[in-house]
Amino acid sequence: MRTLLTIATILILTTSCQQKFEKEKWQTQGDLGTYPYRESMLVDILDSKQFVGLRLRQIPDLLGAPDGLADCEISYSIILDYGSDIDPVYTKNLVLTFDKDSIVTAMKIEEWKK
């Protein structure tokens, strides 16, 4: 019985940190350019693949202006941690890849640590 209760508690704690994608919350910017809701929406975005198949021009209406654009990818900042430095020490981004017809074909998370 105790094991079952422990498992249930763990499941509640891990799922409560996740939430469904909501356009308004995704675009909400907090202190110092942070995005307080983005990390908790990643599982829903990646699992649902809701942006795959959309035209690139539709994405800013849903996710806002991208933070980065390179080759056939756009990216959105999830975490930008400066630690105690003036340069970032950790970044986490949602990256959407698109094809020559500007259709989103894939989504992934990219992380970088100093």
pLDDT digits (tens, 9 = 90+) for 45-61: 999 999 999 999 999 99
Task: Tell me the pTM.
Answer: 0.81
* pLDDT value at residue 28: 94
Cα 99 to Cα 55: distance, rounded to the nearest angstrom: 10
23 alpha carbon, distance to own chain's centre: 12
- pLDDT reading at 12 higher than 80: no
Q: For residue range 62-105, what is the model confidence (pLDDT) as tens digits?
A: 999 999 999 999 999 999 998 888 888 999 999 999 999 999 99
Q: For position 3, what pLDDT does the model report?
A: 53
Instruction: Give CA–CA dist 98/55, Å, rounded.
Output: 8
- CA pair distance 87, 91, nearest whole angstrom: 11
Q: Give mean pLDDT, residues 21-28.
A: 95
